[in-house]
C-alpha cells in the first residue's frame, strides 16, 4: 500500500513546486481548515472544485462548526501564483497552480506504487487499483492513468477502511532469526530447527492473548540470497529443491536474470503466527437484482479538469450523494460522488458504477489524451515531475 496524505505541504522554492514530505497534520491542518495552516494537497482539491464545502462536514474553524474555507484558499493560491509568475516569467493562474501541485502529488503516488510493483517485476496495467482513505478517491482516476491502469475499486467503507481493517484484523505474532549458512543439508537442518523454535514462541504469544491454539495458523519463511549479495528474497519454507526453484522464479521476475552456479545462502528464517480474528461483514449483494441506470445528479458544480484534448478547464461536473444511489447507478465523468466519509472524483473519460453493497467501480471508457511536447520553457511543475 501507498499513503499520501491531504496534509502534504505545497511549496515553491523559487524554481520548482514541491509537494511534501512535510505535512500540515490534523492541527492546524491545511489552510482550508480555518486554523491558520499552510497550503496543502487538500487545499488544491478545494480550489479546483474537487472537494465541495457545501457537501463536506462543517467541522472546521476554532469552534469546529464552520465549512471548509474556499475563499481563503483561493486568496492564498492567487498570492502564490503571482510569486511563481514573477520568478518563472510564465503566466500562472490560481487554478493552474493548484492543478500543477495536484499533478505532482499524483506523480508522487504513482511513483511510490511503481517502486513496490513495477520495480519488482509486476505489470500493473492488468490489475485493478484498490483505493481507500477519505481523500483517495479524489486522485484515484489520475493515479490509475499515470500507471496505465484502467480499473479502480473503492470499498464502500473506503474513508474509514483502516479503522475497519483494524477491527477485523487477525491477531499476529512474528519472530525472525539470522542463520547465515549455505543452502545445503546442514543449513536446512539448522533453519528447520530454528523455525520450530520461532513457531513455538510465536504461538505462545497468541495463546497469552487469548487465542485458542486450534485457531492459530503459521506461515514459515526462508530468506535466501546469492552468496556475496545483500538482496534476500523471502520464500515459503520447503525442501532444498523447492526452495531453489522458488528462488530462481522470484529472482528472475524481479531482476530478469540469474547468477547460474552461484551458491545460495540462508540469510534468515521467520515465522508469522496468525489467530482467527473477527468475522468479516459481507459487502456484496444480489447482483441479479442490479438494474443499470443513470441517476439524476443532486447538483451541477464547477470542477477544474483535464479535457480530452489534453488541456485543463472548468467543466460542469455532476454531483451525486452516495447514499442516494442504488446499485447499478452509472455515472460518466466529470462527476463527484460525495459521502459522509469520502469523496470520489470521476474524471472525464472515466465511468463510475455502484456495485451491490455500495462499492464504487471506476473504469476508463475513453482513451487517454495523446501526450504533448512540453516545449523548452522552464516550467516549475515539470521540473518537479521529472
Strand ranges (E), 322-374: 330-332, 335-338, 343-346, 350-354, 360-364
Rounded Cα distance between 119 and 358, Å, is 33
pLDDT digits 0-9 by tens, 266-279:
999 999 999 975 55
Q: What is the mean pLDDT of residues 323-327?
A: 94
Alpha-carbon gap, residue 7 to 191, rounded angstroms? 45
The cell numbers describing 213, all together, are 491454539
pTM over 0.85, yes/no = no
Task: Please tell me which residue, 218 or 386, carries the higher pLDDT value.
Answer: 218
Task: Indicate the average pLDDT of the chain.
Answer: 89
Q: Say what the pLDDT of residue 360 is.
A: 95
The per-residue pLDDT for range 50-93, each reduced to its tens digit, is 999 998 889 999 999 999 999 999 999 999 999 999 998 888 99
- Which range has the top average pLDDT, 140-144, 165-169, 282-286? 140-144
Which pLDDT score, from 0 to 100, does residue 129 have? 94
The 129-131 sheet, strands edge to edge: 129-131, 151-154, 360-364, 350-354, 330-332
Tens-digit pLDDT profile for residues 29-57: 999 999 999 999 999 999 999 999 998 88
Contacts of 161 (CB under 8 A, 6+ apart): 132, 133, 155
Predicted local distance difference test score (pLDDT) of residue 340: 87
- Alpha carbon of 104 to those of 10, 121, 189: distances in Å? 10, 25, 51
> Whose grid coordinates read 492546524?
28
Which residues pair with residue 171 across a beta bridge? none
pLDDT digits (tens, 9 = 90+) for 291-316: 899 999 999 999 999 887 878 999 99
Cα–Cα distance for residue pair 373/386, rounded to 1 Å: 14
Average pLDDT over residues 203-210: 93
Sheet holding 216-226, edge to edge: 172-182, 264-275, 216-226, 233-236
Mean pLDDT of 204-216: 92
Residue 386 banded pLDDT, cuts 50, 70, 90: very low
Spatial contact of 7 and 42, defined as CB atoms under 8 Å apart: yes
E strand or H helix at 301, and its extent?
Answer: strand 299-306
pLDDT value of position 227: 96
Amino acid at each position: 500500500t501507498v499513503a499520501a496524505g491531504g496534509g502534504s505541504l505545497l511549496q515553491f522554492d523559487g524554481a520548482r513546486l514541491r509537494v511534501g514530505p512535510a505535512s500540515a497534520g490534523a492541527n492546524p491542518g491545511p489552510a482550508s481548515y480555518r486554523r491558520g495552516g499552510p497550503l496543502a494537497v487538500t487545499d488544491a482539491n478545494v480550489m479546483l472544485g474537487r472537494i465541495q464545502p457545501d457537501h463536506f462536514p462543517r467541522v472546521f474553524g476554532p469552534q469546529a462548526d464552520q465549512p471548509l474555507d474556499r475563499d481563503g484558499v483561493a486568496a492564498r493560491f492567487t498570492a502564490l501564483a503571482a510569486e511563481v509568475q514573477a520568478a518563472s516569467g510564465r503566466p500562472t493562474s490560481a487554478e493552474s497552480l493548484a492543478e500543477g501541485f495536484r499533478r505532482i502529488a499524483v506523480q508522487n503516488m504513482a511513483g511510490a506504487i511503481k517502486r513496490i510493483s513495477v520495480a519488482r517485476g509486476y505489470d500493473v496495467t492488468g490489475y485493478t487499483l484498490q483505493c481507500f482513505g477519505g481523500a483517495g478517491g479524489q486522485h484515484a482516476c489520475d493515479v490509475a492513468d499515470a500507471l496505465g491502469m484502467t480499473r479502480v475499486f473503492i470499498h464502500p467503507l473506503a474513508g474509514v477502511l483502516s479503522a475497519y481493517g483494524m477491527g477485523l484484523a487477525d491477531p499476529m505474532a512474528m519472530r525472525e532469526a539470522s542463520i547465515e549458512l549455505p543452502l545445503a543439508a546442514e543449513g536446512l537442518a539448522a533453519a528447520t530447527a530454528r523455525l520450530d523454535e520461532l513457531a513455538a514462541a510465536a504461538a505462545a504469544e497468541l495463546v497469552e492473548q487469548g487465542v485458542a491454539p486450534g485457531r492459530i495458523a503459521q506461515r514459515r519463511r526462508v530468506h535466501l540470497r546469492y552468496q556475496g549479495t545483500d538482496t534476500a528474497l523471502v520464500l515459503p519454507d520447503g525442501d532444498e529443491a523447492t526452495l531453489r526453484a522458488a528462488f530462481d522464479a522470484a529472482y528472475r521476475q524481479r531482476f530478469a536474470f540469474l547468477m547460474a552456479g552461484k551458491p545460495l545462502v540462508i540469510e534468515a528464517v521467520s515465522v508469522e503466527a496468525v489467530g482467527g480474528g473477527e468475522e468479516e461483514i459481507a459487502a456484496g449483494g444480489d447482483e441479479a437484482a442490479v438494474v443499470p441506470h443513470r441517476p439524476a445528479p443532486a447538483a451541477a458544480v464547477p470542477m477544474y479538469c483535464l479535457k480530452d484534448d489534453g488541456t485543463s478547464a472548468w467543466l460542469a461536473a455532476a454531483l451525486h450523494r452516495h447514499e442516494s444511489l442504488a446499485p447499478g447507478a452509472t455515472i460518466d465523468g466529470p462527476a463527484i460522488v460525495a459521502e459522509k466519509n469520502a469523496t470520489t472524483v470521476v474524471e472525464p473519460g472515466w465511468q463510475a458504477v455502484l456495485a451491490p453493497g455500495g462499492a464504487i467501480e471506476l473504469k476508463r471508457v475513453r482513451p487517454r489524451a495523446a501526450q504533448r511536447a512540453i516545449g523548452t520553457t522552464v516550467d516549475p511543475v515539470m521540473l518537479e515531475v521529472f
